[in-house]
Homo-oligomer: A and B are copies of this chain.
């Protein structure tokens, strides 16, 4: 009897509006939105150019394509993996598609081939991790070095000029639908789709189980190796897609593209609440993370802050963001 009453109470409490509101307020995403908003307000006082359409567009364009890589990295981190090779793989995608195009392949086919090739690279990394049993960190480090070399080899060290790409293809990277650049629309669609999938689909739930406790997941009948393998492939495939979009945007394929991208992307995902130990994280958080980093960079450029100070400030913001978030979470846990 008292049991039933008790659980009835609990149910009511769980459904309660206030408790739901409280939960939202305690979420990492909310904290990030608040930080970003604060930055926006401060910046619009600091610079009259900040809240202009041109500046907003420039800032969005700066993170949109990287945001696609962030989605892949977020899933991989949740599964318990990590990928240092993203910068190289994005470049590999650009360079391969560009090279094929210069050999006379239709750009759409070339892009498809490049994306598949990136997926194959991901599969190779996944193989090393799941079948051989190596650590993601070291495997992807090796692939980062190897594929930077492959890019240099394909391009002979010089950016491929792809000015002759057909306009329909360039449209992906440079066109707009109405006032909104296609790149940003693509970014938005991918982010919303993956955010929903990660929260709700059974397939992606298995990624969380695997990352949270691989052994327990295996003992729950989840093919954890397959999950890790596929997460690795997904991350590389997202790099492939991002690379093709970059190519369309830049009409060029420079072999030294994306240096250090991995650290930026990982930082974004971690700011967004993912744990490097796996098992936690959201796409929305990760995207807010990349937006935060990007807005900071853009703001510093806009304010003509000395380049010597820019690194110092960017690093400090990263640190402050994680510290702030940490205390937010602590408070949440305590309440």
Residues on A close to B: CB < 8 A? 84, 128, 132-135, 137-139, 141-150, 152-153, 156-157, 263, 266-267, 270, 275-276, 307-316, 318-319, 322-323, 326
Take A134-B322, A134-B326 as given contacts and tell me if A310 and B139 are in contact as well, using a CB distance cutoff of 8 Å. Answer: no
Q: Are A318 and B145 in contact (CB under 8 A)?
A: yes
Take A138-B270, A311-B145, A326-B134 as given contacts and tell me if A319 and B153 are in contact as well, using a CB distance cutoff of 8 Å. Answer: no
Q: Are B315 and A142 in contact (CB under 8 A)?
A: yes
Take A148-B311, A153-B312 as given contacts and tell me if A142 and B318 are in contact as well, using a CB distance cutoff of 8 Å. Answer: yes
Show 26 residue pairs from A and B whose CB-CB distance is below 8 angstroms, ordered by the A residue: A84-B263, A128-B319, A128-B323, A133-B326, A134-B326, A137-B276, A138-B267, A138-B270, A138-B276, A138-B318, A138-B322, A141-B266, A141-B318, A142-B316, A143-B315, A143-B319, A144-B263, A145-B312, A146-B311, A146-B312, A146-B319, A148-B315, A149-B313, A153-B312, A156-B308, A157-B308
Contacts of A146 in B (CB 8 A): 311-312, 315-316, 319
Take A84-B263, A142-B319, A316-B142 as given contacts and tell me if A311 and B149 are in contact as well, using a CB distance cutoff of 8 Å. Answer: yes
Tell me how many chains of this kind the complex includes.
2
Contacts of A132 in B (CB 8 A): 323, 326
Q: Are A149 and B323 in contact (CB under 8 A)?
A: no
Q: Which 9 A-B pairs have the closest CB atoms?
A: A149-B311, A146-B315, A145-B315, A149-B312, A142-B319, A153-B308, A152-B308, A142-B318, A142-B315
With most chain B CB atoms within 10 A of its CB, the pick from A139, A145, A150, A316 is A145
Distance to closest chain B CB from A331 (angstroms): 13
For A145, the closest partner residue in chain B by CB is: B315
Q: Are A149 and B322 in contact (CB under 8 A)?
A: no
Contacts of A276 in B (CB 8 A): 135, 137-138
- Give complex CA distance A318, B149 in Å: 14
Q: Are B270 and A310 in contact (CB under 8 A)?
A: no
Distance to closest chain B CB from A246 (angstroms): 21
Distance to closest chain B CB from A33 (angstroms): 20
Contacts of A310 in B (CB 8 A): 149
Distance to closest chain B CB from A271 (angstroms): 8
Q: Are B139 and A319 in contact (CB under 8 A)?
A: yes
Take A133-B326, A323-B128, A323-B134 as given contacts and tell me if A315 and B270 are in contact as well, using a CB distance cutoff of 8 Å. Answer: no
**18 extra interface residue pairs, beta carbon distance < 8 Å, beyond A132-B323, A145-B315, A147-B315:** A132-B326, A134-B326, A138-B270, A138-B318, A138-B322, A139-B319, A139-B322, A141-B263, A141-B267, A141-B318, A142-B315, A145-B311, A145-B314, A146-B319, A148-B315, A149-B310, A149-B312, A153-B308
